Structures are given as structure tokens and as C-alpha cells.
Chain A
């Protein structure tokens, strides 16, 4: 009897497993079919191959009854009436970037009643995006961000025409892509794109709503609005490449770009509805950590601005990577890695050292927060900025380790995320008379070559 019971239980277990597998297969198939179907259906609204012509937005004389009901709650306001809502229906806005800023901006602009929105993004949805890029979801991983955002908007507001451009905005296509739109939103994540979008907006006379976010901070301004300044008036010279922080290195709290994207949507709605923009010649500086919002007055339009001034030198779009020293930066990193190879070891070499239990010291020079999230088991954390102050401590550690191992000296290795910070840390220790090597490619390379489960991206 018990034998029979056991057999039945076992059979039951196997059948359950099989059901699970089949369900999973079916689910994957429907998702794939769905994506394929969506791509086909939305084809008319996907613009590519340098063909960016779209029909002119049909201007309405009056809102339909459906529209009046749908938007009734925002048309009841004293200062935002039916005329304002009608202006929205006859307006178009282009959002460059469907990431953290773009997600909330697009959601609110798609819901607000704009006649037409355009979305530019060449990237695909990744799992690490989802904590802040709330227009996408788990079922969209691997899908084009532009298409994913379009799909969301179609579900949210089928009356809103949503055109998408699954490509990078460049000096070649920027002017043509922007042409049919009234307002442009910069929701990109890099300095080159910001200068490109600014210049293209000045050259094609579009209002620009620019924002950015990092860690718990955000900034926003409206440019090229009613004779106000442009981005270049405020920032004539781009920052040095090494001074620029990025979300994938410095981190960003998901809600912060969301807040800034909402501010962008608000400004776009006001401008399209014929109300006054609030942040022209003003800068909104948001600090979510200390709960502070500054709204500061900036300089007016600059006569000597190289793109919007009296005698502009930028009269067509330029090479923005060159302008922002991004090319130089890449080359510089290359040279460092080539020149000092005798100061470096590979991940494989370090793995051998670790496996053979050879006495050594490993210092992880990343910031404390990154180290806490993931690190190698035998690493100690001294962030690059604190190396100099800890030079004596490091010397003592090395001495102690050498004594323990009964050797004259033990090697010191430095490690970081990608191998750039660790290389740049070598001279700091050299200055204090400490010899060391660093690990080429850092923990990213470690993940690629040695441990695919290492939690770093």
C-alpha cells in the first residue's frame, strides 16, 4: 500500500512539473507572438531608414464629447479651461530618451491629451532599468525601449498618436526628427546628447525642456523660450569628461528621475496650453536627500553665445563627442591600460593566485556603498580617495601578512569595477612608497571570465 502511495505521489510530482514546464513554454510563446504582433500593428508609427516624414497633425476646431468627458477633471480648473485642453489636442511633443526621466514624462504627456507625441530611443529594456524606468516592465526585457513605451501609451490612451524612432538621435537626423514637433524634451543621460539637442532646438526654433538626475538629485530648466537663454548660454564649455558622473557608476534612486520627468511633463503641458513656462531663465535644483528645492535665477540669453548669440559660430550641428572630449577620454583610458601592463594582472592570473592560496593583499578601491553590495571574499575596502590617508595602515598590513607567511614581502593588488579607478590608484600608493598592481577589467571582467554569478553590472 505505502509503495503504491509513494508511486502515485512521485507520479503526481512529475505531472505537476510537466504542467509547469508546458505553461512556461506557452507563456513564452504568447509573449513572443504578442511582441511580434505589436511591432506589426504599430509599423505605421515606427519611423526609420532616414524617412521621418509624418502627416501634419490634423487641427481640431473643437473637442469631441468623449474628450470633454475624459479630460473634464483638468478642464474644470479656473486657469486651465477647454481652450487650453483644445490647444493640447492640437500640439505635439518629442521626448528624447525613454529611460528614467522619459518614463514618467511620457506617461503623463500621453495621458494629458496631447494630439501627438514622439519617442526617440535606440536602447533596449534591461532588468537594471526597471527600478526607475517605470513605463517598462518585466515582460519588456530585451524589447526596444521606444516600442515598449509606445505599447504602454497605446493601452493608456489610444487616441494619442505615438510615433517612435528606435535609433540614436544624431547630428544627421536630429533636425528632421524634431521638425514636426512643437516642444522637445531632453530626457537623455549624457552631456553629448544634451548639447546636440540644445543646438538642434536653437537651429530649428523649438522650446526645450531639459532635465537630469543622479543619486538623489535632479536639475531642470526650460531653454530657448521667448528669447530666454539656451543651454549653451549657461554652459558655454562642456565639463571635463572625468568630472561627469553616470547612473551605472554613481547610482540613482528610482523615484528621483521620475520626479524630474514629471516636472518636464508639467512644463510641456503648460507651454502647449499657452500658459507661461515657469523655469525659463530659472534653474530648478532638487535634492531629495535633504528635501531641498532651490529655484534660482540664471543669466539671460547671452549675446556672445556660440549658438543663439548675435554672431553664432555654431550654425549647423557639430561632432558632439569631440566637443565634449568624449573621444579623448576613451583614448586616454586606452593608453593607460596599454602603457602600464607590467603593473597589471589579469582576472585569470588573480584567480590562480586566490585558488593557490598565495599570500597577498587585495584592496577594493571602489566607494564603500559599491563594496557593501558585492565584493570578493578576501578583499578589504579602501576607497581611492582614502588611499593616501591610509598609506601607513596598508604598509603595516603588508608587513604583518609577510611575517605570517614567513616571506620578505607579499604582493598588493588593487581592484575596482572596470579597472580604470584601480589603475589610477597605483600612482597614489607609489607616491607613498607602496608597490602594487591592479586587476585588468576589474570586477566586470571577473564576472565575464571567472564568476558569471557575481552581482555587478
Chain B
């Protein structure tokens, strides 16, 4: 079973039970980022899915990191999740 750490920031934590970091065990059918986002939407998200997903990916304005690296470099939705991965969702901030 694959175990990963989810991390949230920039306000994304509010949608996920106000936790900034949590470990989860993934069901066998969750193998890549696309599956993970769908799984999170159906099982972990508390409110307002429109603030998390849009057209089967994350909405614009969310920075997604795979082990502290922009997910765009790591293969985006197709990235295959591995045991011990840290996946981070951080909303871009606009304030100053």
C-alpha cells in the first residue's frame, strides 16, 4: 500500500479540515496525480469543490509540488505516485 504525505498552504488547508499536513494511505486504484486529485475531491475535501478542482485537474491559482518540485517538471497529472512522496497544494497569495 502506498503511503504519502499531503501538505496544504495559502488557504488550501481550510478546504481540508484545517490541517496543513497529513499522512494518507492510498487505495490501490489511486496510482497517479489525476487519480489522487479525484480521490481527494471525493473523500477528503470538505467544502466548495470549485475552489479545488476544475475540469479534472486543480483550478488555476494552485501551486502543486511533488517532493518540493513544481509538478509541471514531474509529469503533471501523469506522475506515478510512490511510497513516501510529499504532495503539496498551495494557493497563490495576493495580498501585501
Contact = CB atoms under 8 A, between A and B. Distances in A.
A214 B10 CA distance: 8
A217 B94 contact: no
Interface in A3-31: none
A285 interface: yes
Interface stretch (B29-37, B57-65, B77-85): B57-65
Which one of B90, B92, B93 has the highest number of Cβ atoms from chain A below 10 Å of its Cβ?
Answer: B93
B96 A99 contact: yes
A211 B69 contact: no
Contact of A187 (B20, B69, B73, B96): B96
B95 A250 contact: yes
B18 to A, nearest CB: 10
B96 A298 contact: no
B93 A239 contact: no
A219 interface: yes
Main secondary structure on chain A at its contact with chain B? mixed
B94 A290 contact: no
Given A245-B11, A297-B69, A385-B46, A239 B92 contact: yes
Nearest to A231: B92
A296 B61 CA distance: 16
Given A219-B10, A296-B69, A243 B96 contact: no
A237 B57 CA distance: 13
A217 B91 CA distance: 11
A217 B59 contact: no
Nearest to A233: B72
Interface string A246-257: 110010100001
B95 A252 contact: yes
A212 B65 contact: no
A294 B60 contact: no
Contacts of B56: none
A235 B92 contact: yes
A194 B94 contact: yes
Contacts of B73: 297-299
B95 A214 contact: yes
Contacts of A235: 60-61, 92
A211 B93 CA distance: 9
Contact of A219 (B46, B65, B69, B93): B93
Contact of B94 (A102, A246, A260, A295): A246
Interface of A: 97, 99-102, 187-191, 194, 211-215, 217-219, 234-240, 242-247, 250, 252, 257, 260, 283, 285, 287, 289-290, 294-299, 385
Give me the 10 closest cross-chain CB pairs, A-B, nearest first. A239-B61, A237-B60, A214-B95, A101-B96, A212-B93, A299-B72, A189-B96, A298-B70, A247-B95, A214-B93
